[in-house]
Amino acid sequence: MLRRSVIAAALLALAAGCGGDDEAGSGTLTVYSGREQELVEPLFERFEEETGIDVEVRYGDSAELAATIAEEGENTPADVFFAQDPGSLGAVEGQGRLAELPDSILNRVDERFRDPDRHWTGTSGRVRVVVYNTEEVSEDELPTSVFDVTDPKWKGKIGIAPTNASFQAFVSAMTLSLGEERTREWLEALEANDPKLYDGNTPIVEAVAAGEIEIGLVNHYYLYLVKEEQPDAPIENLFLEGEDPGALVSVAGVGVIDGSDEEDEARRFVEFLLSDESQRFYVEEAEEAEYPLVDGIEAKEGLPPLDELRGPQLELDDLGPQLERTLELLNEVGFTT
Amino acid sequence: MRRARAPVALALAAVATVALVLLPLAYLVLRAAEGGADALRVLDRDTLDLVLQTLLLVGAVTGSAIAVGLPLAWLVTRTDLPARRLIAVASPLPLVIPSYVAALALLGAFGPRGLLQQLLEPLGVERLPEIYGFVGAWLALTLSTYPYVFLLAASALRGLDPALEDAARGLGDSRWRLFRRVTLPALRPALGASSLLVALYTLSDFGAVSLMQYNALTRSIYLQYRSLFDRTPAAVLGLVLVALTLALLALEARTRRNVRSSASGTERPPALVALGRWRWPAFAFGAGVLTFFLVVPITVLVYWSTRAVELGHGISFAWEAALSSLTASLAAAVVAVVAVVPVAFLAERHPARWTRAIERLAYTGNALPGIVIALSLVFFAANYLPTLYQTLALLVFAYVVRFFPQALAGVGSALQRVHPRIEEAGRSLGRGPIRVLATVTVPLIRRGVLAGGALVFLNAMKELPATLLLRPIGFETLATEIWRFTSLGSYSRAAPPALLLIVVSAPFVYLLSTRRSSDVSAPG
User: Do residue A34 and residue A167 come from a single domain?
Assistant: no
Phi-psi region of B172 (alpha: psi -120 to 50; beta: other; left: phi over 0): left
| Residue A16 counted as domain residue | no
Looking at residue B502, what is its pLDDT?
A: 95
The residue in chain A having the minimum alpha-carbon distance to the alpha carbon of residue B47 is: A337
Across A266-274, average pLDDT: 96
SS3 content of chain A, % helix, strand, coil (to 5): 50, 15, 35
Chain A residues with CB under 8 Å of B210 CB are 163, 199
User: Do residue A149 and residue A277 come from a single domain?
Assistant: no
Counting residues of chain A whose pLDDT is more than 70, the rounded percentage is: 92
| Residue A8 counted as domain residue | no
Looking at residue B41, what is its pLDDT?
A: 75
Counting residues of chain A whose pLDDT is more than 90, the rounded percentage is: 69
User: Do residue A87 and residue A151 come from a single domain?
Assistant: no
> What three-state secondary structure class fits B339?
helix
In this model, does residue A322 exceed pLDDT 70? yes
Q: What is the pLDDT of residues B484-519, one digit of tens each?
A: 988 887 888 899 999 999 999 999 988 776 554 444
Residue closest to A84 by CA, chosen among A257, A335, A320, A266: A320
The residue in chain B having the minimum alpha-carbon distance to the alpha carbon of residue A39 is: B488
- Is A324 in Cβ contact with B227 (below 8 Å)? yes
In this model, does residue A4 exceed pLDDT 70? no
Q: Which domain holds residue A34?
A: 25-124+250-305
CA distance A273 to B315: 31
User: Do residue A234 and residue A132 come from a single domain?
Assistant: yes
- CB distance from A6 to chain B under 8 Å? no
Q: What is the mean pLDDT of chain A?
A: 89
Looking at residue B17, what is its pLDDT?
A: 95
DSSP string computed for B416-450: HTS-HHHHHHHHHTT--HHHHIIIIIHHHTHHHHH
Residue A309 DSSP class: -
CA distance B478 to B325: 6
| Residue A313 counted as domain residue | no
Cβ atoms within 10 A of the Cβ of B209, count? 32
Chain A residues with CB under 8 Å of B220 CB are 336
Looking at residue A1, what is its pLDDT?
A: 40
- Is B230 in Cβ contact with A59 (below 8 Å)? no
User: Do residue A69 and residue A132 come from a single domain?
Assistant: no
Residue A12 confidence class, pLDDT cut points 50, 70, 90: very low
Looking at residue B263, what is its pLDDT?
A: 46
Please, are residues B228 and A323 in contact by the beta-carbon 8 Å criterion?
Answer: yes
Counting as low any pLDDT under 70, the low residues of chain B are 1-5, 113, 126, 173, 228-229, 256-269, 513-524
User: Do residue A120 and residue A173 come from a single domain?
Assistant: no
A28 φ, ψ (degrees, to nearest 5): -105, 130
User: Do residue A46 and residue A104 come from a single domain?
Assistant: yes
Nearest CA distance, B238 vs chain A (angstrom):
16
Looking at residue B229, what is its pLDDT?
A: 63
- Is A71 in Cβ contact with B311 (below 8 Å)? no
> What three-state secondary structure class fits B222?
helix
Chain A residues with CB under 8 Å of B112 CB are 207, 210, 212
Residue A235 confidence class, pLDDT cut points 50, 70, 90: very high
Write the residue in A67, A225, A331 that is nearest to B489 by C-beta: A225
Looking at residue A47, what is its pLDDT?
A: 96
User: Do residue A298 and residue A184 come from a single domain?
Assistant: no
Number of structural domains, chain A? 2
Residues 179-238 in B contacting A (C-alpha not used; CB under 8 Å): 210-211, 213, 215, 219-220, 223, 225-231
Across A20-42, average pLDDT: 78
Write the residue in B49, B132, B334 that is nearest to A337 by C-beta: B49
User: Do residue A60 and residue A106 come from a single domain?
Assistant: yes
User: Do residue A198 and residue A262 come from a single domain?
Assistant: no
Bridging pattern class, strands A291-292 and A121-133: antiparallel
Residue A13 confidence class, pLDDT cut points 50, 70, 90: very low
| Residue A312 counted as domain residue | no
- Is B331 in Cβ contact with A19 (below 8 Å)? no
Chain B residues with CB under 8 Å of A14 CB are 327, 331, 391-393
User: Do residue A167 and residue A224 come from a single domain?
Assistant: yes
For residue A163, the domain's CATH number is 3.40.190.10
Cβ atoms within 10 A of the Cβ of B62, count? 26
Q: What is the pLDDT of residues A163-197, one digit of tens each?
A: 888 999 999 999 999 999 999 999 999 999 999 98
Residues 178-237 in A contacting B (C-alpha not used; CB under 8 Å): 196-200, 202-203, 205-207, 210-212, 222, 225-226, 228-229, 231
Looking at residue B521, what is its pLDDT?
A: 40
- In this structure, CATH architecture of domain B8-255+278-509: Orthogonal Bundle (1.10)
Chain B residues with CB under 8 Å of A75 CB are 382-383, 386, 389
Looking at residue B499, what is its pLDDT?
A: 95
Q: What is the pLDDT of residues A50-69, one digit of tens each?
A: 999 999 999 999 989 999 99
User: Do residue A239 and residue A141 come from a single domain?
Assistant: yes
| Model ipTM value | 0.87
Chain B residues with CB under 8 Å of A222 CB are 489
Looking at residue A214, what is its pLDDT?
A: 96
